[in-house]
Amino acid sequence: MKNIVLKTCLTSLFLSMSALAAANQTFTVPSTADNFYPKHSAIAGAALSVAAGSCIEKDVAAQAAVTIGANATANHLYAGAAATVGADSAVKNIYAGAAAGVAANATAENIYAGAAVTLGAPSDAHDIGAGAAITLGAGSTAYDVYAGAATTGATVRAYDSDDNIISGNVDSIGDINKIAAMAAFQMQVALDAITTVQRELTALATSDINGDITDANEYVLGTYMGSATETTELAGGVYEASALNMPADATIVFTGNAIINLSDALTLGANTTIDDGGYIVIWNVGGALNLGAGTNFAGTAFVNGSVSGATSDVQAGGRLYAQGAVAIGSIGNTITGCSI
């Protein structure tokens, strides 16, 4: 009986010490990852799309096309190919390597495109620089207009820099400096930086709360994590796993700063919620990031693949940096001042 009691006491003591250690795991975020591209909510090595009715907290940049759905709010858009903004949306500057289109009742501050620019009826923009033709829908307005070909519109009201109305169509050579502004974002530099960050995150030592007492390590995760019936808490520290899957309706809550290094994909089931608890949470994903319908994601994700989550949301302060395409519902919310 004494031996049983002694073993029980030792086990309780070990669990208490383990819990204490789990709450106090610390690490240093690599300097390359610290404050990574702070002005950008998302960077995509291929196409980037944000769903209708969405909110984009900061700028977005993509190697290929950028598509923003209807009734959306966004900041600056950098597209290596075409840029498309849905109806009733509001964006700041658009930089497109190819054509740029703004649908009906949408607004943009300035549009600089390597090819044609089209504004729906009616839409508003300030300066427009296009490498090809500019077409403005009925009732649309623009100020300085620079086109590589003809500018047309049924009821165009174009203004010069002194706010004087210019009668008729505007057809000029084009402002090369303004059109060249689309090159302000260096995509390959950003993608190389993502690779560097992922490599340095992977090199971090995985936390081990158990030391020499046991071979078990709670920071080495299995293939599955979470439950639809109870909340899963993750203490601060550096975690590792191969592929990681979470079931539908799971809730994961972080209780400290954490890095999750995955050599393969991260998949969240429908309606899964990630709560960062106000802590720094960094996901280093070696494959794709798959967000099920209605998921609520939190933290900064560096992804060596694509991000799929057209009906999912990234909480305020969250970031998506991917080597592949990015499709997301929204990034940020109105509480943090997402409106432009």
> CA-CA-CA-CA torsion for 298, 304, 310, 315, nearest 10 degrees?
10
Task: Write the Ramachandran bin of 187: left for phi over 0, alpha for psi from -120 to 50, otherwise beta.
Answer: alpha
Choice among 145-149, 238-242, 263-267, 268-272 with the minimum mean pLDDT: 145-149
| Mean pLDDT of the region 4-23 | 36
Instruction: Give the model's confidence band at 248: pLDDT under 50 very low, under 70 low, under 90 confident, else very high.
Output: very high
| Mean pLDDT of the region 43-62 | 93
Give the Cα separation of 169 and 148 in Å (integer). 13
Choice among 46-55, 192-201, 209-218, 251-260 with the minimum mean pLDDT: 209-218
pLDDT at position 174: 42
Instruction: Give the model's confidence band at 163: pLDDT under 50 very low, under 70 low, under 90 confident, else very high.
Output: low
What's the DSSP call for residue 50?
Answer: E
pLDDT at position 136: 86
Q: Are 138 and 156 in contact (CB under 8 A)?
A: no
Name residues whose C-beta falls within 8 Å of residue 15's C-beta, 6 or more positions apart in sequence: none
Instruction: Give the model's confidence band at 41: pLDDT under 50 very low, under 70 low, under 90 confident, else very high.
Output: very high
Q: Which is nearest to 226 in space by CA: 260, 250, 255, 248? A: 250
Long-range CB pairs of 192-196, under 8 A, 24+ apart, other chains included: 193/32, 193/36, 193/37, 194/43, 194/45, 194/302, 194/304, 194/321, 194/322, 194/323, 195/304, 195/323, 196/32
pTM of the model: 0.85
pLDDT at position 147: 77
Choice among 5-14, 151-160, 329-338 with the minimum mean pLDDT: 5-14
| Mean pLDDT of the region 245-270 | 97
Give the Cα separation of 184 and 168 in Å (integer). 32
Q: Which residue in the block uniquely carries the two structure tokens 């003591």? A: 13
288-to-33, 305, 310, 331 alpha-carbon distances in Å = 19, 5, 14, 18
**What is the per-residue pLDDT across 176-231, written as a single tens digit (0 to 9) for each?**
445 545 446 889 999 999 999 999 999 999 998 665 555 678 899 999 999 999 99
> What integer best gives the mean pLDDT of the chain?
83
Q: Are 112 and 96 in contact (CB under 8 A)?
A: yes
**What is the per-residue pLDDT across 111-136, written as a single tens digit (0 to 9) for each?**
989 899 999 888 888 888 888 888 88
Beta bridge partners of 314: 297, 331
Instruction: Give the model's confidence band at 3: pLDDT under 50 very low, under 70 low, under 90 confident, else very high.
Output: very low
**What is the per-residue pLDDT across 284-308, written as a single tens digit (0 to 9) for each?**
999 999 999 999 999 999 999 999 9
**What is the per-residue pLDDT across 68-111, written as a single tens digit (0 to 9) for each?**
999 998 889 999 999 999 999 999 999 998 999 999 999 998 89
Give the Cα separation of 72 and 52 in Å (integer). 6
